[in-house]
Amino acid sequence: MILARELSLKEIVKIHKEVPDMELEMFVHGAMCISYSGRCLLSAYMTGREANLGDCAQPCRWNYNVYLEEKLRPGEFMPVEENEDGTYLMNSKDLCLIEHLGAIQKAGITGLKIEGRNKSIYYLGVVARAYRQALDGKYTPALKKEFETLNHRGYTTGFALGKAKKGETFPSRQPVRNYNFVAVVRPKGRLRDLNFIEVRNQIKTGDKIDVITPDKVYKEKVFSITDESGKEIDIVNPGKTGQMAYLKLKNLYPEMSLMRKKI
């Protein structure tokens, strides 16, 4: 049973007591839908993209001009504003419960769900790695800090700890973005002493990058870049069909390691 995001941990405890043999899952991280348990009609109505088929256009993140009309003054519209840019009354902050996994497990939850629609493998890799390490008893504040390297809209605990707080909307359509996902390590190419990568964002010789593996985040510097023909170049950009290149770093990294660069 996948539980609604509107439930508190106290309510989940009660559900678990009623159906102790049923496996319970809950969302612990990712975008929050303004509609009750994700039952959104806005996306289908405004764009033709069905939210419940995994194709949500996320219109709740858009900037709206909202007006009030007083019944005895028809045609006189008074604007409702949060700031000078407009009203983001439906744009919820992102859910993050990594600090509360102990309480979540005690409540009877057996499955943790990460909201990952339209997310990159970098986003999913960083989030899944952090929650896996936290579940293994390796939680530190540094794990939560990893979430600041993702595109995000601020973070909230939602309803898990009780009634949601005021001010849980994020005042912009554009998320916070501090890092670029720049590459994925692929199987070794013909230059065995270099890291063979699929380029996702621009990389330059001399760039300082982070390499994320399941166990650790490594600090690296790009000493050189070589294209597939074996020619050394100073800069490489992503291509439409998957640009490949070789990077000389201090270490060689396993396939599917992820690379990022601070903006």
The pTM of the full predicted model, rounded to 2 decimals, is: 0.85
Q: Is the pLDDT of residue 202 over 90?
A: yes
HSE-CB at 107 with a 13 A cutoff on CA atoms is 23
Tens digits of residue pLDDT in 70-117: 888 888 887 776 666 667 778 889 999 999 999 999 999 999 999 887
Q: Tell me: the pLDDT tens digits for 32-82?
A: 887 777 678 888 889 999 887 878 888 888 888 888 888 888 888 877 766
- Give the sheet arrangement for strand 94-96, strand by strand: 109-114, 24-30, 94-96, 155-156
Q: How far apart are CA 204 and CA 236, in angstroms?
A: 7
Report pLDDT for 78: 79
pLDDT at position 83: 64
CATH code at 179-262 = 2.40.30.10
Q: Where are the domains of the chain?
A: 9-32+92-156, 39-91, 179-262
Average pLDDT over residues 198-207: 97
